[in-house]
Amino acid sequence: MGLYRRAFEHGFRRVDPERAHHLGFRAIRLGAPVLGRLPGPAGEPVTAMGLTFPHALGLAAGFDKNAVGIDALGALGFGHVEIGTVTGQAQPGNPTPRLFRLVADRAVVNRMGFNNDGAEAVARRLAARGRRAPGTGPVLGINIGKTKVVPEDDQAAVLADHATSTRLLAPHADYLVVNVSSPNTPGLRTLQAVERLEPLLEHVRTVADSVTTGRDRVPLLVKIAPDLADDDVLAVADLALATGLDGIIATNTTIGRDGLRSHPAEVAEAGAGGLSGAPLTARATEVVRMLRQRVGPDLTLVGVGGISTADDARERLAAGADLLQAYTAFIYEGPLWPRRIVTGLRA
């Protein structure tokens, strides 16, 4: 058992998960000056969406919601970092406790509720950081979503809310993601229906283009849930092709609880929310495979959900993913984990 695993088993797992996250992330940021002097892992570069990624593995949205540690996370070995989800208005998220570990399943349940500082504050932070020249930092994705107080059945309000985030954040993004698949904002997943999704993506595309003149077009992706029926997955694939979307991120967390090893009482105590980690591996891989078969070779697919080992990563790439993202395994495996995966992929 490695040093981090021993520390997790005998210390970290006894700390409230959200508090442990903040403590761990603070340590990463404090270590940024040292981390920044380390050579990056020797990965195989990936060209996708007109961007060059140093390797396939990135950090999924949810870890750095407010753009406070992008470069420190890149120095740990992530080739791209997706911040957010950022909403048009700042919001505190759901009441605590709202983050739970299911250790026996190497899984996490969260019902954070898009807690973040809001698009204006995040945009100021990104402006102070400045855009990085290619090859001098991780590729930066910005994940945006609906503010909770905006009614999901008021299409004009939903469009205006996303326009606010897009206008403020697209100028700082290497790529932009519309997140319509979190289970923790009431009604959000209804936006995955193609008749709701198409005008939303088209509006975000128009606004992004209007605020990024003079630079390359910002790639636009959508993030979908693993709980979509297969026909709905294929409908999103068709929509992506029809609207000229640059990519799909598959998948977000699941509301399902089937096949868990954790004691039912522990699962019940965790309660509602999105489940991430190893239990998602099979379904997330299946969704990527379906999407690739439907969209052909050109659309970028980002595989996320249950990637814990280099074998998991290879399987997701073989299923059709161009890029990979992870989060939960990072929690369980520690700060050296990204480099191990990148090295394992190259081997």
pLDDT at 1: 55
Instruction: Establish whether the linkage from the previous residue to 251 is cis, with ω within 30° of 0.
Output: yes
CA-wise closest residue to 259 among 236, 245, 275: 275
Q: Give the tens place of pLDDT for each residue, 262-271.
A: 999 999 999 9
CA-wise closest residue to 172 among 202, 200, 211: 211
pLDDT at 171: 98
* CATH code, domain carrying 311: 3.20.20.70
Judged by average pLDDT, the poorest of 7-16, 61-70, 212-221 is 7-16
Instruction: Write the single-letter amino acid at 203.
Output: H
Residues 6+ apart with CB under 8 A from 167: 207, 210, 211
For residue 298, the tally of other CB atoms under 10 A from its CB is: 8
Average pLDDT over residues 221-240: 96
Specify which residues 14 forms β-bridges with.
none
Sheet architecture: strand order including 274-277 = 99-102, 107-110, 274-277
Alpha-carbon Rg for the chain, nearest whole angstrom, is 19
What is the distance between the alpha carbons of residues 176 and 154, in angstroms, rounded to a whole number? 23
210 among known catalytic residues: no
What is the distance between the alpha carbons of residues 330 and 327, in angstroms, rounded to a whole number? 5
pLDDT at 135: 81
* Residue-averaged pLDDT of the chain: 95
**Residue in the structure block whose two tokens are 């003079």:** 214
What is the distance between the alpha carbons of residues 49 and 31, in angstroms, rounded to a whole number? 32
> Phi and psi dihedrals of 116, rounded to 5?
-165, 170
pLDDT at 157: 98
**Residue in the structure block whose two tokens are 């636009």:** 220
Compute CA distances 44 → 4, 115, 230, 256, whole Å. 27, 34, 32, 35
What is the distance between the alpha carbons of residues 313 and 176, in angstroms, rounded to a whole number? 23
Q: Give the tens place of pLDDT for each residue, 9-53.
A: 767 778 999 999 999 999 999 998 888 788 888 899 999 999 999
Q: Give the tens place of pLDDT for each residue, 79-93.
A: 999 999 999 999 999
Compute CA distances 93 → 61, 118, 299, whole Å. 15, 11, 33
Domain count, the chain: 1
CA-wise closest residue to 6 among 336, 310, 334, 338: 334
> What share of the chain in percent tops pLDDT 90?
86
Average pLDDT over residues 300-305: 98
CB distance 292 to 301 below 8 Å? yes
What residue numbers bound the domain in which 96 lies? 3-346
How would you classify the pairing of strands 57-59 and 323-326? parallel
Residue 256, classified by CB atoms within 10 Å of its CB into exposed (0-12), middle (13-18) or buried (19+), is middle
What is the distance between the alpha carbons of residues 56 and 52, in angstroms, rounded to a whole number? 10
What DSSP letter does each residue of 74-118 carry, written as one string? Answer: HHTT-SEEEEEEEESS-B--SPSP-EEEEGGGTEEEE---S-B--
Of the chain, the end-to-end C-alpha distance in Å amounts to 22
182, 262, 276, 308: the catalytic one is 182
CB distance 5 to 334 below 8 Å? yes
